[in-house]
A = this chain, B = another copy of it.
Amino acid sequence: MTSEQSKSDISRARILDAAAKTFRQKGYAATTLIEIAKAAGMQAGSLYYHFGSKDELIEEVLDIGMRRVHEAVEESQERLPADSSYRDRIRVAVEAHLTTLLKHDDYTSANIRIFGQVPEEVRQHHIRQRDAYAELWRRILTKAQKSGALRSDVDLGLVRMLLMGALNWSVEWYQPGRTSIQTIADHMCLMLFSGIGIEEPIRSGENETVA
């Protein structure tokens, strides 16, 4: 039980990597074990030495993906100075979530993209883990609100859903090199804390022309 990696461990990891990548790209049902095996450099039948079924494989991919965001966000909080502002706490959480999602993690983005496609039974097995992650955000936002850093008249559940949506949707459009992850996080935090609106001058009904 040291950090030695048996041949089995190595193959297993290669399969998981290939699976996460393929599931993320093609979705659950459209991904075949043949494809995964090929990407992992072996034959389809060989997968069954490591995993009992396609669903067992997808479950582990989902599990790893969720664990990684969860840990990343949790660590972002622990790394902060104890006297950090609540805005900073939320800001680093947003950055951690986005970075995990977009930077190098096929597992996390696979989780987000295909969770809605997997068989009901697989989904059931992950509800607990999803809830735990939701709970982490709930705590962060609730503390911020109680402390007076967030408006007290908003439904934090709704805010959380809208925030997660904005962040998670990035897996559908983000392309490395076009915008930095930091810029995305900055825009998200600006919207969340201050909004991007400006008071409009009162107008008298005419269609004004703007230079």
Contact = CB atoms under 8 A, between A and B. Distances in A.
A41 B39 CA distance: 42
A53 interface: no
A200 interface: yes
Tallying the copies of this chain within the complex gives: 2
A208 B84 CA distance: 12
Contact of A193 (B179, B183, B196): B196
Chain A, interface size category, equals 35 or more
A207 to B, nearest CB: 6
Nearest to A169: B165
Interface in A194-211: 194-198, 200-201, 203, 205-208, 210
Contacts of A113: 116
Given A27-B28, A148-B198, A210-B146, A187 B159 contact: yes
B166 A162 contact: yes
Interface string A5-48: 00000000000000000000011111000000000000000000
Contacts of A149: 197-198, 200
Contact of A116 (B27, B85, B179, B200): B27
Nearest to A113: B116
A196 B151 contact: yes
A27, A167, A168, A205: which has the most chain B beta carbons within 10 Å? A27
Contact of A85 (B166, B190, B192, B200): B200
B210 A148 contact: yes
7 contacts: A82-B207, A83-B206, A148-B200, A158-B183, A162-B184, A193-B195, A194-B194
Given A155-B187, A195-B195, 18 more contacts: A26-B117, A27-B29, A28-B29, A28-B30, A148-B200, A149-B198, A150-B198, A158-B179, A159-B187, A159-B191, A161-B170, A162-B184, A165-B165, A165-B167, A165-B168, A168-B169, A191-B191, A194-B197
Sorted from nearest, which 6 A-B pairs have the closest CB atoms? A165-B169, A193-B197, A29-B29, A195-B195, A194-B195, A166-B166
